Structure 1
């Protein structure tokens, strides 16, 4: 084994150990929220399976309907996976006894390579594998807590197959657990954010006349992959297209005077990023400068007042007011930010005028004040922060200025 391969294996082992350790902390937090009466946690939700086990499956990206589950007690965890997913899952967990596979898939192996467990026999169906995992891991546990996020498949299977057990809904507890981030979760959100920041700075450095939206998106996506992340979305829109909010990059060439709005995020070890900056090809005209100053005033205000205890609806109202008073009297928004954490969607709270909630220390938030005007263009500033008792800790680090290209 050469030195490069040895270093890779060591780095990989460190990463896996970190993911498993963080998942153990998450499980402890979830058990604390559900209380002593609950003996075992079960979830079929794609992100929550990774949240509780540390294993995030690519098969969920390939097939959103893929059936899998995590079964966890306070001291044991098992995964129910398809036969094809068993190989990657075993690489992460290192424990064949923790995998309950179903279906059929063929792995051949070389003798003496430590590949035992990759081609083991599986159960005929997901339902059988789930019940077997529960009987093995949970033993004589009486109360089974089931996460019903997404669907009721696990609830129905367990209710029919283990009729002597008491089932309880833990969906709300999982949602509450996600609101506050552990240090390991913040570190992963931070790294995912750093990769987007690097991509934005690379676009500024590498920009040349004649570049297309797709050229810029490729720079950002390549940096994400090189940094060990999975590109989740890279929305690069220019000129009038920059008003289209969430849209894929096209072969449109950027022209002098164009606004270029880039909103991007990736998933790093299961945790996501979401940030945005606005560029202009050349010097901004008076209208561009006026509108940018307005949305900049709004997000600067939002960041200044955020701290534990702030009322979400009031924060929304005041942020919109500041944008209106600083140059866009017609400014409207449905939200001015949202929670972030596990990849694949928003965490709570979403910063809307209808949200009846207060900010709490330990929340990771994306704060934003986008502006979209069809026929003219759009602009956006979006930062990620960690809420603290007396303010916030920045996760996004690059300046919020309008970035000039060319």
Structure 2
């Protein structure tokens, strides 16, 4: 018995030493983020990891009067503070702003990987219970600060996306698309939500976004994968890694597939087509695979889990699917490896100056699987007149400073929208604030 115990202890010690050694020398990026960004990113050979490179920034919050740093010619100030994990934003027709104060539901099981992910979430400031609340913010006097902050809806289930269509407010809970009646100017809703479509919950990617289609007749709903690369089998991924199209009469279909984790979605003002930002896979090394921004058309398949960036095979995935390779759509624009692109809004309604007049803003939540870290900022992708990213364009920094001089996270940007005065609002889910980016000469159009 003693020999058995000693043998087990010896094995544990070896494993611990191995982990310590591994974490002391994790995979380090050989390329800059910019080299893995743009319409033609550098796609190098994968460096498959058995144990992941772990590099998530510790959260310290905003101390004193500290705040993010805006690009030259812009300024930033707090639009609202004292929130509880604000992730997503939606502007109502009267200019009120809805904030989903939300977090991942409790994760069940998951073995060692689930345990590791739980530790990472806690380290990143995400391991707290969800407020399960939507809060309404109102800036009635137009000074750029919300003087009204009130609970709009409670009792939800990790709510995320919100969209108003035909007098109904649709909300993406983690397990269902629901709706409630809404009248302009309401500050609270007590109606019991009606379920429109049940969504498969659980796993790694819990946030469900929802937006109205360009014609205002259907909705798009994003449902991320349950895993990194379907390591739990494809049965667990049923109707996951998809963007669904939903009709108000509760009919639905898969609109786009092979999309590991789409969050931000927006209608392109030029093409009137659906665009999204997508979190790609982990543990292929610090240079792969790039998160991306792309147009999605009905029937598109972007390759997950078998392929990335338009047909590069992920040899870890079993069983293989060789017939899909030539049909895996290549995304329109790479945002860089592991940046965790979440927020997306086009600049159509902004009044920030000519430099920011035609493009898309992207909220990058920040990496956990790269050394050095990437993301932790808001960037802008310039678009050409044809409605696609400008040739040769790289992401331009709009809002930085979320990491302090020691590499700790003062905040992490998520959702991005414009307010009715044309400023950019940014949800900061660990800083518990909404930041407002504006041009110094801009005046509130109230």
TM-score when scaled to structure 2? 0.21
Question: Which of the pair has the greater relative contact order for Cα pairs under 8 Å at 6+ separation?
Answer: 2
TM-score by length of 1: 0.23
Bigger helix share: 1
